[in-house]
Amino acid sequence: MTARRVTAPGKAVITGEYAVLRGAPAVVMAVNRRVVVRTSSTAAHSRVTTPGFADGSWHFDASTGTVEWLDGSGPDIVEAVFAALPRVPFGALDISIDTRSFRDEQTAAKLGLGSSAAATTALVAALVERGCASAELFRLASAAHMNLQGGVGSGLDIAASCAGGLIRFTRDDGVQDRLEWPAALYYRYFFSGASASTPAAISRAASIADTDVALQDLLASADAAATGIETGDAASTLSAIEAYADALRSFDSTHRIGIYAAGHDEMLQHAGNTGVVYKPCGAGGGDIGIAVDTDADGLDAFTALAIDAGFVPLDLQMDNSGVTVEAPAL
């Protein structure tokens, strides 16, 4: 195998979390924290290292197309990816999966930017040598990530890692429509200081009946939000995000999922006091949130209150590049 270096961006959900699992559209932004996967041939046994996931290295054999660990067990992501790929023999490989940029610099806590999805996408791209915009890459990476997540998830984080930029995503057909973020709309991401479990939160919401009123309101709001953001207009986009945030808060209050736990409720109060729009991104209950406003000064005032509340402003920006493959590896 030719040595290569593959990178893929993380993601932040702007609107549509939870609703996307029931067929509604989500709007998701790829962000400038990237997983780096390096692969090269080796004369020894295959080996994987995972800086950011776990220390150490693990040896395996994939000469039959499936992973056989030679020293106990290794990272689940490797088995999940190989299980999703066509079963063909692989020679001895040296693999590094580096997700350190997806952790808080001070505490090393996971930020909740979709590191497992980005790592899965990058590893699949490294092993199958597909084009960056390939529908096949999305299909294989989605299947691998579902293996890794125990069958839970929508695929939106894989879509963001594949495509980059701002996209509208629908689970049932995997459609990824590219959108434009309005230049006059300012945003800032904040880390709550607590890492959340996305599969656990999704499982809590999975038992809610399709006919539930709060769920139906959330689905309708997700569709309206995606339509509003598609306009590319700052005021329309801000209004769309605010309306979805309101529906998400009502959904959370009704079913006590915990989306606005871990300080997000307090951030919502600060947002009301400063006139900005705030919501958790993704499963909530920790991880990150986003504040949005057409007034940069208002966003700065909110940031000061967020810091006092223990939240950490993140230097996150939209990353317009999806998964990228370079050879030879650097």
Going from the N-terminus, what domains does the chain have, and what CATH number goes with each? 4-180+318-326 (3.30.230.10), 186-314 (3.30.70.890)
Residue with tokens 């650097």: 330
Residue range 193-219, pLDDT digits in tens: 999 877 778 888 888 999 999 999 999
For residues 179-186, average pLDDT? 95
What is the distance between the alpha carbons of residues 129 and 198, in angstroms, rounded to a whole number? 29
pLDDT for residue 41: 87
Residue with tokens 């150490």: 56
Residue 75: which of 54, 44, 92, 95 has the closest Cα?
54
What is the distance between the alpha carbons of residues 76 and 298, in angstroms, rounded to a whole number? 44
Residue range 266-298, pLDDT digits in tens: 999 999 999 999 999 998 988 999 999 999 999
pLDDT for residue 129: 61
Contact 43, 92 (CB under 8 A): yes
**Secondary structure (3-state) at 17:** coil
For residues 36-65, average pLDDT? 88
**Secondary structure (3-state) at 230:** helix
Angle between helices 76-84 and 135-148 (to 10 degrees): 140
Contact 40, 94 (CB under 8 A): yes
Task: Report the percent of the chain where pLDDT is more than 70.
Answer: 96
Does the structure show a pLDDT above 50 at 330?
Answer: no
**Secondary structure (3-state) at 240:** helix
Tokens found for residue 72 = 């106990």
pTM, two decimal places: 0.93
**Secondary structure (3-state) at 109:** coil
**Secondary structure (3-state) at 152:** coil
Burial 140-165 (b: 16+ CB within 10 A, else e): bbbbbbbbbbeebbbbbbbbbbbbbb
Residue range 112-165, pLDDT digits in tens: 999 999 999 999 999 886 444 578 899 999 999 988 888 778 899 999 999 999
Give the CA angle between residues 160, 238, 267 to the nearest 5°.
Answer: 85
Residue with tokens 């220390």: 55
pLDDT for residue 153: 80
3-state secondary structure 245-298: HHHHHHHHHHHCCCCCCCCHHHHHHHHHHHCCEEEECCCCCCCEEEEEECCHHH
For residues 53-71, average pLDDT? 88
Residue range 77-108, pLDDT digits in tens: 998 998 888 877 788 899 999 999 999 988 99
* Residue at 313: amino acid letter: P
Give the CA angle between residues 293, 299, 303 to the nearest 5°.
Answer: 140
